[in-house]
Amino acid sequence: MRSEIRRVALLGAGVIGAGWAARLVENGIDVAIADPDPEVRRKTEAVLGNAERAMRGLFPEPPARRGSVTYAASVEAAVEGADFVQESAPEREDLKRALLARADAVAPPDVILGTSTSGLLPSRLQADCAHPGRVVVGHPFNPVYLLPLVEVCGGSATAPETIEAATAFYASLGMHPLHVRTEIDGFIADRLLEALWREALHLVNDGVATTDEIDRAVHYGAGLRWAFMGTFGIYRLAGGEAGMRHFMAQFGPALKLPWTKLEAPELTDALIDRVSEQAEEQAAGRSVRDMERSRDDALVAILQALEGQGIGAGIELARWRANRRSASESG
């Protein structure tokens, strides 16, 4: 598969696609965007502006080269001449399959077709492609330009060299590729996130807590630990010197108690109204862009703190910083 990536075609430039554009541009890679939204340029440039502001928090020095952004009139025009394709359209299987098939018909066989799907099976998404072996999931997290995790998952027809090349490319962007070895709906991270989301909806639906109270329960507590240590690492420490076995013996029986409800509540109009109204109250009149900048500032500070400790996502930031320094010195 093609290893030298200078130009990437982005099919879809919503929250995720625009985030990809920002990370790619910051790494000196040109992007061509295809998106039917008549306001795609304005929305993308707003994300790029926020991203550049965040990047200067992480890297005071500008990149050795900043990539360019162009807007194509069609999928085919965006893919023409691209070294890599990243599809980030809405989470509809029919739409994604059609876009990947159109890209497959234009791109040379050695160009990887990545999809940002958050949970659709790649075996189904690659089914209409003449070259399905080059289709792979590259599932990032919002904001793509700051969060390093990207889940990489192949379908039944995906070639091993595609997985290897895609993993190397994402890593070169300062990301942390996590190879999802078993094709499964929702992959790994979103299955965990959805379990929390389902329980949170129950708490709101049952009147136990508001959206603000639930969010505070996360970001004042376990969320701080999750920035550098996962669930198993945290519970290992909770077992004290006796370790995980002691923790499971002590708290394992609680798994039989009715603490959680994994089946999601019915999304009635009343529940949707309640969640939406409470979420707007939490926003307290702040615009989405203002909230994004506040989020980015917090993430920059956390990433820098983790880099100083040489732990978690800070490891990837240190690698990315070294790569940027090397590119600047050689350029």
Write 255-261 long-range contacts (CB < 8 A, 24+): 260/199, 261/198, 261/199, 261/202
Strands 149-154 and 176-179: parallel
Amino acid 119: pLDDT: 96
Closest by Cα among 150, 94, 160 to 127: 94
Measure the CA dihedral 180/182/185/186, to 10°.
-20
DSSP result, 25-56: HHTT-EEEEE---TTHHHHHHHHHHHHHHHHH
- How far is the C-alpha of 156 from the C-alpha of 136, rounded, in Å? 10
**The pair of three-digit structure tokens given for residue 264, joined into one six-digit string:** 């999601």
**Structure confidence at residue 328 (pLDDT):** 86
Buried b (16+ CB within 10 A) or exposed e, 184-220: eebbbbbeeeeeeeebbbbbbbeeebbbeebbeeeee
Per-residue pLDDT of 255-290, as tens digits, reads 898 888 888 899 999 999 999 999 999 999 999 999
On whether the CB atoms of residues 51 and 24 are closer than 8 A, the answer is: no
Kindly report, residue by residue over 158-211, the tens digit of the pLDDT: 999 999 999 999 999 999 999 999 999 999 999 999 999 999 999 999 999 999
Closest to 194 measured CA to CA, from 92, 270, 264, 102: 264
Q: How far apart are CA 315 and CA 326, in angstroms?
A: 17
Q: Which pLDDT tens digits describe the chain residue by residue (331 residues)? A: 999 999 999 999 999 999 999 999 999 999 999 999 999 999 999 999 999 999 999 999 999 999 999 999 999 999 999 999 999 999 999 999 999 999 999 999 999 999 999 999 999 999 999 999 999 999 999 999 999 999 999 999 999 999 999 999 999 999 999 999 999 999 999 999 999 999 999 999 999 999 999 999 999 999 999 999 999 999 899 999 999 999 899 989 988 988 888 888 999 999 999 999 999 999 999 999 999 999 999 999 999 999 999 999 999 999 999 999 998 888 6
Q: Using CA atoms, how far apart are residues 291 and 153, in angstroms rounded to an integer?
A: 31
Is the pTM higher than 0.85? The answer reads yes
Burial 85-115 (b: 16+ CB within 10 A, else e): bbbbbeeeeeebbebbbbbbebbeeebbbbb
Cβ pair 100, 128 in contact under 8 A: yes
Report the greatest alpha carbon distance in the chain.
62
Q: Two tokens at 76?
A: 């085919």
Q: Supply the pLDDT for residue 331.
A: 67
288-309 vs 313-330: helix axis angle to the nearest 10? 90
Look up residue 305 and give its DSSP letter. Answer: H
Q: DSSP 3-state assignment of 112?
A: strand
